[in-house]
């Protein structure tokens, strides 16, 4: 079994979100597990370990085949999911639509930077999954 905590700790090492310090540990864990589950549905199709077999009571994956490479890829995806909340934040959208101020630090520029960062992280996550599939894929099933 691989505990969810391995994913949660790695994810938290990859981000800086000081708002999370105000939350109880169990709430931070629940938030991270939500991100993790969304990522696992995307990565499970190509991952050699079975990410769909989870025990929420034990807070662990049932697979013993999960290694550091898989944890790293899943947590990269968790960062993408975490960034999505900042891109889709309605407060940022309202500020852009209402402001006439286009200074270097305006809300419009901030959202553009967040969106660019989100897209970069999304590409990095997709490339990580693609590279994993190249390195671990089985070509014998292809009809070449």
**43-55 tens-digit pLDDT:** 988 888 999 999 9
Tell me how crowded residue 72 is: count the other CB atoms within 10 A of its CB: 14
Q: Is 56 helix (H, G, I), strand (E, B) or coil?
A: coil
pLDDT tens-digit series, residues 2-16: 999 999 999 999 988
Number of structural domains found in the chain: 1
Q: Show the tokens assigned to 31.
A: 């938030």
pLDDT tens-digit series, residues 73-98: 999 999 999 988 877 665 655 555 45
Is pLDDT above 80 for 108?
no
Going by pLDDT thresholds of 50, 70 and 90, the confidence category of residue 68 is very high
Contact indicator for 8, 61 with CB cutoff of 8 Å: no
Higher pLDDT, 86 or 131: 131
Q: What domain range includes position 110? A: 2-141
Query: pTM of the full predicted structure?
Result: 0.77
Distances from the Cα of 97 to the Cα of 92, 93, 117, angstroms: 9, 6, 21
DSSP structure class, residue 60: E
DSSP structure class, residue 21: G
Q: Show the tokens assigned to 120.
A: 């970069």
């Amino acid at each position: 079994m691989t505990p969810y905590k391995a994913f949660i700790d790695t994810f938290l090492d990859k981000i800086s979100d000081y708002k999370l310090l105000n939350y109880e540990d169990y709430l931070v864990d629940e938030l991270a597990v939500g991100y993790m589950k969304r990522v696992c549905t995307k990565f499970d199709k190509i991952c050699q370990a079975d990410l769909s077999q989870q025990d929420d009571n034990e807070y662990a994956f049932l697979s013993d085949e999960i290694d550091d490479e898989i944890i790293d890829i899943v947590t990269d995806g968790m960062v993408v999911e975490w960034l999505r909340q900042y891109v889709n934040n309605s407060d940022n959208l309202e500020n852009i639509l209402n402001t006439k101020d286009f200074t270097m630090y305006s809300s419009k520029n901030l959202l553009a930077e967040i969106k660019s960062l989100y897209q970069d992280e999304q590409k990095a996550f997709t490339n990580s999954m693609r590279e994993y599939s190249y390195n671990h894929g089985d070509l014998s099933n292809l009809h070449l």
